[in-house]
A and B are shown apart, each in its own frame.
Chain A
Amino acid sequence: MAADMINWGLLALDPPGWGGVLLGGLMNSIKIALGGYSLGLVLGTFGAFGKLYGGPVTRDLMEVYTTLVRAVPELVLILLLYYAGTDLLNRVSAALGYGSVDISGLAAGIFVIGVVQGAYSTEVLRGAILAIPQGQIEVARAYGMPPLLMLRRITLPAMLPFAIPGLANLWLIATKDTALLAIVGFNELTQTTRTAAGATKAYFTFFMAAGALYLALTLFSNLILGRVERWARRGLPPVGSTA
């Protein structure tokens, strides 16, 4: 029964089939996830350092940023940032006399996912920095290391084992959050799936296929992230050992 309900020809890679379109959507999703995740890591690093070492005003502003972003649904944030961001950019370029600019969906998507991820990775990285034995940082200061050298040589490598589980989670959330960009009409995997399903009326086939692609991405990421975690924890006692 299942065999005659699924028309595999629909998933063929060449134009009568929609497989190539779906894979293109998956590539777009991965691009946005990678870009947004990287932007989020940069924002998160600044945010974590601002929260820990910044002045009172910086700390409060960071607190407002993380609280607001984590309490408001991603869907609302995406709409707000998408409309407000493109609107603001257009007004600035109009004020400078360049006329309206066309913002690519990719750039807008990366910006939106990055801002959302930044709030979460701020908290992950802050917790990880606090988990470093603080003596190590004091020793680095006592050696007279300038802040950037200390960041590169001591803080970042030492916090990595504590941060990796949280950051791995954030990567998986980033890949799934890209689906929300379908709401603003960006051609990532979920949106292309809906287009394909709507055109062929084979809803089950296409949504199942897209689900399988997302699942494959997650499982593949898990494999890579497991290796990264093993690498980051090298030289440390294994988890769960009572040392």
Chain B
Amino acid sequence: MSSETSILPTPPRTSAWLQPHRIVLILIALGLVIASACFMRWDWLPNYLPIALEGIWRTIWLLVASAALGIMLAVPLGLVQVTGPMILSIPARTFCTIIRGTPLLLQLWLLYYGLGSLFPQFPWIRESFMWPYLRQAWPYGLLALTLSFAGYEGEVMRGAFAGVARGQLEAARAFGMSRWKVFRRIWLPQAVQRALPTLAGETVLQLKATPLVATITVVDIYAVASRVRQETFVVYEPLLLLALVYLCITGIIVFLFRRLEARIPTRLG
């Protein structure tokens, strides 16, 4: 039962893990993989490999950029909800509620079609140096993903900031640390440590949100798979391969966050 109580199963010893029925299951899975490799159509793959790799790169780039920018927004959003004055905390709470209360697809289309149709009406925007970027789709995708991540993580960080023991902060103040130093040395590190397991899950969710940008003509790996489907009329193979790609990226994210969590010393009471 001990392995059942933790949410993320810790890998048990190999001897316990490799039971006879598992070997059978693995063989069946291998058989399925080999059968799909032999009997399904993969002849389109070499033609599309370069743009597929480009698509994977774009997906990862969008994920990393939106998560990094989003967390930078989320920290102040969470902080002002815990300690800020009403004039800051109410807008922050409203922002989080709106972002979490509407579908990301709708936010994305609002930004792309709405802002995109609004901007050309203003001549000064058309003449500004931003215009070459604003005419492309990816800035809108990145903005929507960033705002979404900030909204969800703002809520996570609010909980994490509120969860740090008050005595810690009072002790730091008693040592004569300035407010900024207390935040930098005590409050933020402890909050991040508390939030880290949640952030790992949220990053996977963010990865799963990235294919939505394909609907506004950003060519990520999902868009490449759709293109293969439309051009070659091969339906399942690209989708299965796509699922496999996302599975691998998820595995990498989980692995990286575990490494990160392992770096932080914890003591279980």
**A-side interface residues toward B, CB under 8 Å?**
52, 56-57, 60-61, 68, 70-77, 79-80, 83-84, 87, 123, 127, 130, 172, 176-180, 182-183, 190, 193-194, 197, 201, 203-204, 207-208, 210-211, 214-215, 218-219
Given contacts A73-B209, A76-B242, 10 further A-B contacts (CB under 8 A): A79-B239, A80-B240, A87-B235, A127-B7, A190-B103, A193-B106, A211-B98, A211-B102, A211-B106, A214-B106
Q: What 8 A-B pairs have minimum CB-CB distances, sorted nearest first?
A: A179-B103, A218-B101, A207-B110, A73-B208, A71-B250, A203-B113, A176-B103, A204-B114
Question: A214 touching B101 by the CB < 8 A rule?
Answer: yes
- Give the residues in chain A near B222, CB-CB below 8 Å: 73, 75-76
> Taking CB as reference atom, which chain A residue is nearest B249?
A71
Question: A76 touching B211 by the CB < 8 A rule?
Answer: yes
- Give the residues in chain A near B105, CB-CB below 8 Å: 179-180, 182, 190
Q: Which of B17-25, B81-89, B177-185 contacts A (4 or more CB under 8 A)?
A: B17-25
Question: B106 touching A190 by the CB < 8 A rule?
Answer: yes
- From A52, A57, A74, A179, B208 is in contact (CB under 8 Å) with A74
> Taking CB as reference atom, which chain A residue is nearest B101?
A218
- Give the residues in chain A near B164, CB-CB below 8 Å: none
B257 within 8 A of A: no
Question: A207 touching B114 by the CB < 8 A rule?
Answer: yes
9 contacts across the A-B interface (CB closer than 8 A)? A70-B204, A80-B236, A130-B4, A172-B101, A182-B105, A190-B103, A207-B114, A211-B98, A219-B97
Q: Give min CB distance, B100 to chain A, whole Å.
A: 8
Q: Give min CB distance, B6 to chain A, whole Å.
A: 10
Contacts A204-B114, A208-B110 given: A80-B243 contact, CB under 8 Å? yes
Please, how many angstroms separate the alpha-carbon atoms of A201 and B102 in the complex? Answer: 22
Contacts A71-B250, A73-B211 given: A215-B101 contact, CB under 8 Å? yes
Please, how many angstroms separate the alpha-carbon atoms of A56 and B19 in the complex? Answer: 9
- From A74, A84, A215, B98 is in contact (CB under 8 Å) with A215
- From B19, B212, B246, A72 is in contact (CB under 8 Å) with B246
Q: Give min CB distance, B19 to chain A, whole Å.
A: 7
Chain A: interface secondary structure?
helix
**B-side interface residues toward A, CB under 8 Å?**
4-5, 7, 19, 21-22, 25, 97-98, 100-107, 109-110, 113-114, 116-118, 204, 207-212, 215, 222, 235-236, 239-240, 242-243, 246-247, 250-251
Question: B211 touching A56 by the CB < 8 A rule?
Answer: no
Please, how many angstroms separate the alpha-carbon atoms of A182 and B250 in the complex? Answer: 25
Contacts A73-B208, A75-B212, A204-B118 given: A130-B103 contact, CB under 8 Å? no
Chain B: interface secondary structure?
helix
Question: B236 touching A83 by the CB < 8 A rule?
Answer: yes
Question: B247 touching A68 by the CB < 8 A rule?
Answer: yes
Please, how many angstroms separate the alpha-carbon atoms of A227 and B246 in the complex? Answer: 38
Question: B204 touching A71 by the CB < 8 A rule?
Answer: yes
- From B97, B102, B235, B239, A76 is in contact (CB under 8 Å) with B239
> Taking CB as reference atom, which chain B residue is nearest A204?
B114
Please, how many angstroms separate the alpha-carbon atoms of A56 and B116 in the complex? Answer: 54
Contacts A56-B21, A80-B243, A182-B105 given: A207-B113 contact, CB under 8 Å? yes
- Give the residues in chain A near B102, CB-CB below 8 Å: 176, 211, 214-215, 218
- Give the residues in chain B near A190, CB-CB below 8 Å: 103, 105-106, 109
Question: A211 touching B110 by the CB < 8 A rule?
Answer: yes
Q: Give min CB distance, B140 to chain A, whole Å.
A: 12
Q: Give min CB distance, A144 to chain B, whole Å.
A: 23
Most B CB within 10 A of own CB, among A52, A201, A211? A211
Please, how many angstroms separate the alpha-carbon atoms of A127 and B114 in the complex? Answer: 42
Q: Give min CB distance, B223 to chain A, whole Å.
A: 11
- Give the residues in chain A near B204, CB-CB below 8 Å: 70-71
- Give the residues in chain A near B104, CB-CB below 8 Å: 176, 179
Q: Give min CB distance, B143 to chain A, whole Å.
A: 15
> Taking CB as reference atom, which chain A residue is nearest B107?
A211
Q: Give min CB distance, B4 to chain A, whole Å.
A: 7
- Give the residues in chain B near A127, CB-CB below 8 Å: 7
- Give the residues in chain B near A183, CB-CB below 8 Å: 215
- Give the residues in chain A near B5, CB-CB below 8 Å: 130
Q: Give min CB distance, B198 to chain A, whole Å.
A: 13
Question: A201 touching B211 by the CB < 8 A rule?
Answer: no
> Taking CB as reference atom, which chain A residue is nearest B243?
A72
> Taking CB as reference atom, which chain B residue is nearest A87?
B235
Please, how many angstroms separate the alpha-carbon atoms of A207 and B103 in the complex? Answer: 11
Please, how many angstroms separate the alpha-carbon atoms of A76 and B209 in the complex? Answer: 11
Most B CB within 10 A of own CB, among A76, A127, A215? A76
> Taking CB as reference atom, which chain B residue is nearest A71?
B250
Please, how many angstroms separate the alpha-carbon atoms of A83 and B230 in the complex? Answer: 14
